[in-house]
Amino acid sequence: GMQNVTITDMILFAVSRVLLNHRELNAHLTDDSLRLFKDVHLGVATDTPRGLMVPNIFNANSLSLAEISEESKRITGMCKAGSCSPDLLSGGSFTVTNLGSLGVESFTPVINPPQTAILGVCAVVNRVREAEGKTQVYPAMGISVTFDHRAVDGAPVARFMQELCRALENFPMLL
């Protein structure tokens, strides 16, 4: 249920919704042909004793937050236990990799071909801002997108990131 929902689950949920408005990021590029997906098959980069594995949450855009949370735990758990079905490891349309849990504040994720983009999620850090003449500390989480320039230009990627940030900052409205 909802009591086990993590920040990563919330990001996966938001990405599964926002990506639908940015189809060239939810795509495969092979040779010179771009295949756009109608649904979001979300890869979850997973550190395992045997190295990096990327199992997929298929049709994530049609799952609830609780369902995404449950499926993410199920598939990453299988990978860590060494019992992941090969079917889970192919067919992803976009990948999310979270190194924030390891305290990483900034990194450049590497695209998982033939996907056209990948989202990197960094650690939550305290930042300082000026508001109404007062200094306040607030938690901030860095995100980065690596994308294939043959499939998409920087401005559409920036619009995706802008929409994703808005969605995460106003998360209850997404639900």
Catalytic residue among 41, 47, 87, 153: 153
Distance CA 47, CA 164 (A): 24
CA dihedral 143, 145, 146, 152 (to 10 degrees): -170
Residue 56: beta bridge partners? 43
Residue 22 annotated as catalytic:
no
SS3 29: strand
Is cis: bond before 114, omega within 30 of 0?
Answer: yes
Catalytic residue among 22, 41, 47, 149: 149
Residue 47 annotated as catalytic:
no
- Residue for token pair 């236990």: 81
Distance CA 101, CA 13 (A): 18
Q: What is the largest CA-CA distance in the chain?
A: 56
Distance CA 63, CA 58 (A): 9
Active-site positions read 149, 153
